[in-house]
Amino acid sequence: MFDNNLTDQELVRRAKMQELKELGVDPFGSSFKRTSNSKELHETYKEHSKEALEALDKEVIVAGRIMTKRGKGKVAFMHIQDKYGQLQLYIRRDMVTESEYEICSKSDIGDIIGVKGKVIRTDMGEITVKANSFTHLSKALRPLPEKFHGLQDKEEARRHRYVDLIVNEESKRIAFMRPKIIRAFQNYFDNLGFVEVETPILHPILGGANARPFITKHNALDMNFYLRIATELPLKRLIVGGMEAVYEIGRLFRNEGMDSTHNPEFTTIEAYLAYSDMEGMMDLIENCFKEVSNKVLDKTTISYQGNEINLGLPFKRIHMVDAIKEITKIDFFKVASDKEALDIALKDGLTLEKHKQTLGHIVNAFFEKYVEETLIQPTFVYGHPLEISPLAKKDPTDERFTKRFELFINKKEYANAFSELNDPLDQRERFLSQLKEKDLGNEEATELDEDYLEALEYGMPPTGGLGIGIDRVVMLLLEVDSIRDVLLFPHMRNK
């Protein structure tokens, strides 16, 4: 009745499953009410002596997965694992029923069990539950990875996260810390009076960022939709509607490459504040990083990839052109034309696609080539060129650039923000420019959104907007090198 491809271990476990059935025990059990857990018992009784626990005579009911098992004959010791950690069990033949001890003797590492018993401290000093009742709850038909080594292959761990969480404490730590970080973001914005909202994931028009989308078909409407690449345009419609301070934490989807900091679907927070601007967003983000780090870690200094990152000091603020000038001595403020900029780029050896042969794209290319790798401590780089910032206000002192910035930490972008463009006529021109770039081969260019333009025509107040990559913040705070290790279910190539 068993698959011929099963291992010896798997065959033995299936045979034990049959034995349980013959004993009248459901191998996959039913509900079980616990009164305590490993964390509560260790914390509550850590100061109690062996004698004090005996006198207390405290009975508890616990459950978990068997992680170790030793002993023979009339006595068995086990460690079970619940969401908080491990707890030792002591099972004696004369303390449980004969059938319960037989079931206990047939149990395997990986099985899930429940025990009722008294809290004791063993001669070795370990808090333990001495069982007076043993309940089988679920049979593990596959063995866990070897206990001393766990699931060491990173790729296998990511493919089989359920096993990874069982055997790797670090993976479990990350899984439980990530939602705490997200709650800290929520608390920060909630306390400032922002309202958390939800906007559509399916968008009929591509917009809000420069990225390649995923495309899907809605059969009932007979329409193609994009999985959203940003939440920006719906959120700014809410600013037009008078909500004034809104944010959304949610998944975005970009049909692009994968590496240690990029996954096709990822989590961001986007927030928009009426009557604010780029400088207001700088203050908001700087304070946010400090508060989230303090709330989650109780510190603002982090050791990450060989660098000490200090989130407690004021973040550096520098114009993109000035940052390029510091390293290359080239001052793009003094470059008067696209042709002059192109000559500089060609002399430097840059290869530029047709739609990128303009001053703005060239400035961005120089920044990416020479500056990004030098930005270790938190740095706001502002003044992004007009061509790469279709939704940001122009800088009134030099309209080739915008009131936009990105936050860089340890060579990577963590946030993007700007003074939002609220002039519907200027916004239409920007959309049209993006369509021209699309015609020249820019697959990431945005589309013209007539409904969004109509919304702006009703009047949007001066507004500051920001986006922060949650996954990268989790990586930074928890000192994790790959985005795939802070996602419970990262996308993987087929084997």
Task: List the domain boundaries for the chain.
Answer: 8-144, 167-315+377-485
The rounded radius of gyration (Å) of the Cα atoms in the chain is 29
Distance CA 461, CA 6 (A): 66
Q: Helix H segments across 192-260? A: 232-240
pLDDT of 1 > 60? The answer is: no
Distance CA 115, CA 130 (A): 9
The backbone torsions φ and ψ at residue 71, rounded to the nearest 5 degrees and listed phi first, read: 105, 165
Residues forming a β-bridge with 136: 113
pLDDT in tens, 72-81: 779 999 999 9
Kindly state the helix (H) or strand (E) to which residue 223 belongs, with its residue range.
strand 223-227
| DSSP state string for 365-404 | HHIIIIIGGG--S-EEEE--BGGG-TTBPEETTEEEEESE
Q: The whole model's pTM is what?
A: 0.92
Find out whether 76 and 91 touch, Cβ atoms under 8 Å. Answer: yes
Query: Which CATH number does the domain 8-144 belong to among 3.30.460.80, 2.40.50.140, 3.30.200.210, 2.40.10.350?
Result: 2.40.50.140
pLDDT of 364 > 60? The answer is: yes
Distance CA 187, CA 296 (A): 12
Find out whether 172 and 179 touch, Cβ atoms under 8 Å. Answer: no
User: Residues 6 or more apart from 298 whose CB is under 8 A from it?
Assistant: none
Q: Which of these ranges, 119-128, 205-214, 280-289, has the smallest mean pLDDT?
A: 205-214
Confidence band for 50, pLDDT divided at 50, 70 and 90 = very high
pLDDT of 147 > 70? The answer is: no
Q: How far is CA 147 from CA 109, 276, 440, in A?
A: 10, 55, 57
Give the closest residue to 165 by CA, choosing from 109, 80, 41, 82: 82
What's the pLDDT score for residue 2?
A: 53
What's the pLDDT score for residue 4?
A: 67
Distance CA 469, CA 413 (A): 8
Distance CA 228, CA 444 (A): 13
- How many beta carbons lie within 10 A of that of residue 150, not counting itself? 18
Distance CA 18, CA 29 (A): 14
Instruction: Tell me whether strands 59-70 and 75-81 are parallel, antiparallel or unpaired.
Output: antiparallel
User: Residues 6 or more apart from 307 whose CB is under 8 A from it?
Assistant: 376, 410
Mean pLDDT of the chain: 95
Distance CA 115, CA 78 (A): 11
Secondary structure (3-state) at 413 = strand
- How many beta carbons lie within 10 A of that of residue 147, not counting itself? 10
Distance CA 147, CA 108 (A): 13
Average pLDDT of the segment spanning 335-354:
94
Residues forming a β-bridge with 317: 380
pLDDT of 149 > 70? The answer is: no
Average pLDDT of the segment spanning 191-196:
98
Give the closest residue to 227 by CA, choosing from 271, 262, 265: 265
Kindly state the helix (H) or strand (E) to which residue 418 belongs, with its residue range.
strand 412-419
Q: What is 167-315+377-485's CATH number? A: 3.30.930.10
Q: Tokens 């809000």, residue?
A: 208
Average pLDDT of the segment spanning 20-45:
97
Average pLDDT of the segment spanning 313-333:
98
Residues forming a β-bridge with 76: 91
Confidence band for 230, pLDDT divided at 50, 70 and 90 = very high
User: Residues 6 or more apart from 272 whose CB is under 8 A from it?
Assistant: 235, 236, 238, 239, 245, 246, 247, 420, 463, 464, 465, 466
Confidence band for 42, pLDDT divided at 50, 70 and 90 = very high
Phi-psi region of 245 (alpha: psi -120 to 50; beta: other; left: phi over 0): beta
User: Residues 6 or more apart from 281 whose CB is under 8 A from it?
Assistant: 273, 405, 417, 418, 464, 465, 466
Distance CA 466, CA 420 (A): 9
Distance CA 352, CA 445 (A): 16
What percent of the chain is predicted at pLDDT more than 90?
89
pLDDT of 484 > 90? The answer is: yes
